[in-house]
Structure 1
Amino acid sequence: MTEPTSTEALPTRAYVIHPDIGDARKQRRQPEHALAEAVALALALPGIEIVGSETVRLRKPDPGRLFGKGKQAEIDARLEEAEVDLVLIDGPVSPVQQRNLEKDWGVKLLDRTSLILEIFADRARTREGVLQVELAALSYQRTRLVRAWTHLERQRGGLGFVGGPGETQIEADRRAIDEQMTRLRRQLERVVKTRSLHRAARAKVPYPIVALVGYTNAGKSTLFNRLTGAEVMAKDMLFATLDPTMRAIRLPDAQGGGQGRKIILSDTVGFISDLPHELVAAFRATLEEVLEADLILHVRDISHPETEEQAADVAEILDGLGVDEDVALIEVWNKIDALSADTRAALRRTDSRTEGVQAVSALSGEGLDDLVAAVDAHLAEALDEPRHEAVVMLPFSDGRRRAWLHEAGVVQNEQATEDGLRFDLRWTERQKAGFEALEPETGDQQ
């Protein structure tokens, strides 16, 4: 009898190369940290086994093969020895360079952009996220028609960059890609209209929006879960969260005791250096909660050796998205639990003296009470919401609007009268507008 064969797919053996290109690459990072991030990116793609990685220093890229003859010969030997299936280049690779290198090495090659697109395709869960990734991938592939595109009929998760190449005619490819992009844009328009309806519904309960932003793997989702009690995927992995998640939470009363203002907290996709411009454009709608935010919490992994460089990348992307400079922003220095006790104490002293900075550990909960108080104080100042008193009468049958008033925390006194319920209120103009946007509930409603 023959031995049964395993149906489990073997991992793809990948080799990661970070080209460190002289003065042409105006980067803030040290090459070793850039290589570490590239390896982490590769590990974020399922089914990948890293069998080697290196930084390759280049004075200037070779237009035909990226690497010079001598350097490529060295790489050839290492790839053959490691029995590599896939090479990941942490940087841009032209279609001609990619075609030549794949032919020389006999393996698939992904540059940084196509790797990030693969990860996004694997992680997107909402309909909008899936459509946006496919549109971004098509936009990218259209400029690289020396290669085939197989992701529209893919057999695996992701976009098919890792799969077999196949051959197609350039003109037929371009026409098919354009047609598919047109179909995707139409589908996206319908999805965006649905999101607009959801935003309009939220406007009827106009709570301030607080958006979490930050470099990928900075701990945003862990902080989000800690503050909201939600169970958003939070792992020590790049791009663990792709689709936006929103939850309503109520802050403690800043004056002490009781309940304070209610806010909507939004978790967003992590940013990264050299984010493909196709994704910045395609994910603009996904990041719209940041554009509409009343307060931004910039979550930083303060334990990372290049936290300052990561912060600069986030600031650059926020600026590119068109975020209003007037929007209040708090820097949340996260992961202080990963630091020594002395460093942690020094950071806590620094945040107490520095306006707009809060040192916390989303994992242990250290510093979160101070952060919540700072959020409440910033919103009170940023929104400049004076409260005024009002009296509202509701019929006994209008349970929906009665519940809204109590949920909003604006009721000072409620009294039953012969004509209905009388409410003595203390509310803001924003809350008043939200109340008035609600349809009255009648007694004959089911």
Structure 2
Amino acid sequence: MHAWPASEVPALTGQGRDLRIHDTATGGLVTLAPGPVARIYVCGITPYDATHMGHAATYNAFDLVQRVWLDTKRQVHYVQNVTDVDDPLLERAVRDGIDWVGLAEKETALFREDMTALRMLPPKQYIGAVEAIPGIVPLVERLRDAGAAYELEGDVYFSVEADPNFGKVSHLDASAMRLLSAERGGDPDRPGKKNPLDPMLWMAAREGEPSWDGGSLGRGRPGWHIECVAIALEYLGMGFDVQGGGSDLVFPHHEMGASHAQALTGEFPMAKAYVHAGMVALDGEKMSKSKGNLVFVSALRRDGVDPAAIRLALLAHHYRDNWEWTDQVLADAVARLGRWRAAVSRPDGPSADALVEELREALANDLDAPAALAAVDRWAALQTEQGGTDEGAPGVASRAVDALLGVAL
């Protein structure tokens, strides 16, 4: 599966700062100091309805992570999956009377278009669950043969008790885990499971549903969590720098994935930091496909909204905050984009060297995009009110906003 084209990231003079970012597993800020190549895995979409503003906000957060790293002169190894076979996708295809493969391909293509328009940096590997199956099957077999998994009526479940570090990502108690498991794709009430929280690794073939050869597992398809684990381990290995996604993935997805990987390798932790973006709401409720309260990037683009304004609307909120999409949020972003473009369109202006350092400091401080936007606002206001004589200043400001915020002026 291919990703989308990369936009050019301008190289800035000077040196970026190491990223301090909130780690869900420890509950506080950690300073990440990767080697020459920083490694990040971000969970991708289930392609049955893409791309709403909740998606866009999540991928914007991890695009900023990459930009901070690139500014430190590191390379970035970014991997993202596509869950191109899963119950919600199959259910949507049945509801609409269409082929599930065609639905996944159509929505994945639309996602690529949206990511390109928003100037999100693409992953080096963009891997679908289906294409990952040959690598998933041996991992499930290894877990089963090691006693970390068991069969139940043809399905294979992971035993959470096989990982002594289970629970160290979310730090939730058993009752909260059970509730979230039921809400987010698990089956805690299924009779016969050793532990209600045990997640499925391999689902035996069901009548009328797609299935693949699973070797000694029999025909079936993979569970949700093992998909990401197989992809992350193959391309990044254990102990990569950031595992990212929306806050709704803390449990069960990231908790279970970490346990799968740790049981497979005997190493801890799977990732050095677990980083999660907040949720975006509309009309008082979290945007979700089940509620149908979605604002789509593609719909805004069709209406003529500049993708740079969409990106500024996302950047106006701290990535960890939960916030609500409104017409005013977009109107404010459109106005801000106009002010910034007017400021950099002049032949000269006040020096922007300090602005570059303000942007670096804000983003290195837990991706504080609102503080970064405020710094650009101040420079643009000074340009408008007083001007300046530095002929290079507008170009410096424009390149910094492009390189660090992903907004083309």
Q: TM-score band (shorter)?
A: under 0.3
User: TM-score w.r.t. structure 2 length?
Assistant: 0.26
**By percentage of residues, which structure has more strand?**
1
**TM-score, normalised via structure 1 length:** 0.25
Q: Which has the higher contact order (CA 8 A, sep 6+)?
A: 2
Q: Computing the radius of gyration over CA atoms, which structure comes out larger, 1 or 2? A: 1
